[in-house]
Every structure is written in C-alpha cells, then in structure tokens.
Amino acid sequence: SECRNGLCFEPLWTTFADSVVKLRIDHSCSQIPITVHQMFKETVDKYGPLNAMASKKNGEWEKITFAEYYNLSLKAAKSFLKLGLERFHSVAILGFNSPEWFISAVGAIFAG
C-alpha cells in the first residue's frame, strides 16, 4: 500500500507489473468475477464449433472456430513461454488486424 499524510491506501493503478492495486469491484453486480481463461473456456464449451473469426487470405475467406481459436491461443502461450516469456512480463504485438494478432493477444494473457 501507499502512504501519504499518514493515510495508507491501495492505489488504483500502477506502472509496476508486480505491484498491488485495489480492484474496483461493483458489489451490486451479481456476476462472479472470472479470469479471461475461464471466460474463453466457457465460450468454447458453449460455442466451440461456431465461427469466431474470418479473414481473407489470398482472396479467400478463412474461418476459424472458437475451439480452434482457443487451441491456437494455447499453442501461442506455450510458444511464448518456450521463447522465455516470464509471468508479469510483456508481449508487444506488431501487426495488422488479423487472426494472428488476436491469437497472440490471448496467448500472452494465457501465458500469464
């Protein structure tokens, strides 16, 4: 916690990946907080075989389902870890709006 003028409090934001912040939780909301991974897994359980994304490759539409999106994101996460990504570190994704961008973004979250 941070202390100023004798008052200590949990800050609401930080620029340090390993420091603590106070979560702004709306207690009037009945939704139980879940992780991005839990939310994605629930989506795969409900909508696994349905299309999640479509993109044009060489003039042809290529579609991937939520189950494929999830699997590819897991693969990206494992690849980032294999390449040396550590928990609370960052991934910078340089690229255009594409399935690879989204798979990398979710993969980075899955890798912690």
Ligand X SMILES: *[C@@H]1O[C@H](CO)[C@@H](O)[C@H](O)[C@H]1NC(C)=O
Q: Per CB under 6 A, which of residues 58..77 are in contact with ligand X? A: 65, 67-68, 71
- Cβ-based neighbour number of residue 40 at 10 Å: 19
Separation in Å, CA 34 to CA 16, 37, 93: 23, 8, 25
Residue (74 or 91) nearer to ligand X, CB: 74
Total residues at interface with ligand X (CB under 6 A): 4
What minimum distance in Å lies between the beta carbon of 70 and ligand X? 7
What minimum distance in Å lies between the beta carbon of 67 and ligand X? 4
Q: Give the contact letters, 18-57, x = binds to ligand X (CB under 6 A), - = no.
A: ----------------------------------------
Indicate the angle between helix axes 99-110 and 36-47, nearest 10 degrees.
Answer: 130
The tokens for 87 are 């928990």
Indicate the angle between helix axes 99-110 and 66-82, nearest 10 degrees.
Answer: 60
What minimum distance in Å lies between the beta carbon of 66 and ligand X? 9
For residue 32, count CB atoms less than 10 angstroms from its CB and return exposed for 0-12, middle for 13-18, buried for 19 or more.
exposed
Residue (19 or 51) nearer to ligand X, CB: 51
Give the residues lining the site for ligand X (CB under 6 A).
Answer: 65, 67-68, 71
